[in-house]
């Protein structure tokens, strides 16, 4: 591969690449479900409106074949997921065994094709990163999927499949970092006993799935930091510098997978955390130099304006684009066209959700519980390294 200059100016790796698909524009979990809102299509439209996503850096995601999905999922589950999509109905036995047709994981028109496309992106990313680089797949990050059942809005577990793909492509040691508001129980299920996979999760305490205790270790490299409601940017900066970066640097990974769920920001309805999107972008930037291969995924995020703005800023961070104080009209038009309605109300955007990409920073004194838990993990890291 001929070296080229990437956005940060290092003549060693290709330009960052964005994997997306039009399937996300035309599918929804249903009018009442938190994932009724547009997300990936917003990021695609917004980054193009900003001039940040030329055609040469965009890859249309393939749909993963059933055999590829069986690297983690059972044949019976994949068959049930395909059959349920085809019938648009689910039997009691399938619902009980596989978690399909529940309020969290409902029956909808693209319930197999949509997650298989997200999984296809992560599988392809692992192959494309064989010789290094940066890939962004915002439709990925479905970290709750289990081998034999759907779980927590996730029908498949693309982070697990992406890690497996990276390993097949030569990455022996992989660091998985998850900053979604929810603990990645499906990824931990897959790799808790694997000494060559580092698992780091920062998630809200006492929030579903209520796993990921500070004391969990597994037989491998598992580091959890449950955080209290109200976590703000300064708390997360402490966690980043005291826990996340020392862990990843000490592990010396061949690849990093970052699950960058957008549900930990103040405006999101599915958590009680209080981050600005600056906190996410800072972690995206800080992890990049620590491995040759870097795969950044999406995850949670249920306010269409906050998730679209945050994930567009992730791409800006990866390509080295400057985020303006006021968005150009074409980008404002993308955000102004969003609609967020539920069974009981229509949500109206705040003015700055239309005109800006960057949130105002959310500062505050360090929470004593956050400091205590970060110190406890820092002491463990020091002994581990």
Query: Annotated catalytic sites, by residue?
Result: 144
Number of structural domains the chain divides into: 1
**Is residue 10 one of the residues assigned to a domain?**
no
**Is residue 171 one of the residues assigned to a domain?**
yes
Is the four-CA dihedral 237, 279, 211, 205 of positive or negative sign?
positive
Question: What backbone torsions phi and psi does residue 149 show, to the nearest 5 degrees?
Answer: -160, 155
For range 256-273, the mean pLDDT: 98
**Is residue 290 one of the residues assigned to a domain?**
yes
> What pLDDT is stored for residue 13 in this prediction?
66
244, 377 in Cβ contact below 8 A? no
Q: What is the pTM of this model?
A: 0.95
> What pLDDT is stored for residue 4 in this prediction?
33
Lowest-pLDDT choice from 12-16, 62-66, 132-136, 213-217: 12-16
**Is residue 5 one of the residues assigned to a domain?**
no
**Is residue 9 one of the residues assigned to a domain?**
no
Please tell me the distance from the alpha carbon of residue 280 to that of residue 303, in angstroms, as a whole number.
16
Please tell me the distance from the alpha carbon of residue 134 to that of residue 13, in angstroms, as a whole number.
8
Q: How confident is the model at residue 12 (pLDDT cuts 50, 70, 90)?
A: low
Please tell me the distance from the alpha carbon of residue 288 to that of residue 211, in angstroms, as a whole number.
28
Give the percent of the chain with pLDDT over 70: 96
Please tell me the distance from the alpha carbon of residue 366 to that of residue 88, in angstroms, as a whole number.
49
> What pLDDT is stored for residue 14 in this prediction?
86
**Is residue 8 one of the residues assigned to a domain?**
no
Residue 296 in 3-state DSSP?
A: strand
Query: Which CATH number goes with the domain that contains 120?
Result: 3.40.800.20
DSSP codes joined into one string, 188-212: HHHHTT-TTEEEEEEEETT-TT---
State the number of CA atoms in the 13 A half-sphere of 188 facing the CB.
22
pLDDT single digits (tens) 342-372: 777 789 999 999 999 999 999 999 999 999 9
**Is residue 57 one of the residues assigned to a domain?**
yes
Please tell me the distance from the alpha carbon of residue 383 to that of residue 362, in angstroms, as a whole number.
33
Q: How confident is the model at residue 337 (pLDDT cuts 50, 70, 90)?
A: very high
Strand pairing partners for 258? 177, 296
**Is residue 184 one of the residues assigned to a domain?**
yes
* CA geometry: angle 133, 291, 240, nearest 5 deg: 120
Q: Above 50 in pLDDT, residue 11?
A: no
239, 202 in Cβ contact below 8 A? yes
> What pLDDT is stored for residue 361 in this prediction?
98
Residue 17 in 3-state DSSP?
A: strand
342: containing domain:
17-384
Output the CA torsion 147→264→276→342 (10° steps).
100
């Amino acid at each position: 591969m001929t070296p080229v200059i990437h956005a940060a100016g290092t003549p060693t790796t290709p330009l960052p690449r964005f994997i997306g698909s039009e399937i996300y524009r035309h599918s929804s979990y249903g009018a009442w479900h938190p994932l009724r809102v547009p997300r990936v299509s917003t990021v695609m439209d917004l980054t193009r409106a900003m001039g940040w996503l030329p055609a040469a850096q965009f890859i249309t995601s393939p749909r993963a074949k059933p055999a590829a999905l069986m690297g983690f999922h059972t044949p019976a589950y994949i068959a049930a997921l395909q059959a349920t999509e085809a019938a648009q109905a689910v039997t009691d036995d399938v619902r009980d065994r596989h978690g399909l047709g529940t309020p969290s994981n409902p029956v909808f028109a693209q319930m197999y094709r949509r997650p298989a496309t997200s999984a296809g992106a992560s599988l392809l990313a692992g192959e494309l990163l064989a010789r290094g680089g940066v890939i962004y797949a915002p439709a990925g990050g479905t970290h709750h999927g289990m081998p034999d059942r759907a779980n927590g809005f996730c029908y498949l577990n693309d982070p697990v499949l992406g890690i497996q793909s990276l390993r097949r492509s030569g990455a022996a040691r992989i660091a998985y970092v998850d900053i979604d508001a929810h603990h990645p129980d499906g990824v931990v299920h897959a790799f808790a006993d694997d000494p060559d996979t580092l698992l780091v999760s920062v998630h809200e305490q006492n929030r579903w799935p209520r796993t990921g205790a500070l004391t969990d270790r597994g037989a491998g490299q598992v580091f959890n930091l449950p955080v209290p409601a109200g976590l703000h940017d300064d708390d997360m900066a402490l966690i980043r510098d005291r826990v996340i970066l020392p862990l990843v640097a000490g592990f010396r990974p061949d690849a990093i997978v970052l699950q960058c769920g957008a549900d930990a920001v103040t405006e999101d309805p599915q958590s009680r955390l209080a981050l600005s999107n600056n906190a996410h972008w800072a972690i995206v930037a800080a992890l990049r130099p620590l491995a040759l291969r870097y795969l950044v995924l999406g995850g949670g995020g249920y306010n269409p304006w906050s998730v679209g703005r945050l994930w567009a800023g992730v791409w800006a961070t990866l390509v080295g684009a400057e985020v303006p104080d006021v968005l150009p009209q074409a980008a404002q038009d993308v955000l102004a066209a969003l609609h967020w309605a539920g069974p009981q109300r229509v949500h109206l955007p705040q003015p700055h959700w239309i005109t800006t990409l960057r949130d105002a920073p959310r500062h505050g004194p360090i929470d004593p519980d956050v400091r205590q838990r970060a110190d406890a993990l820092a002491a463990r890291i020091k002994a581990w390294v």
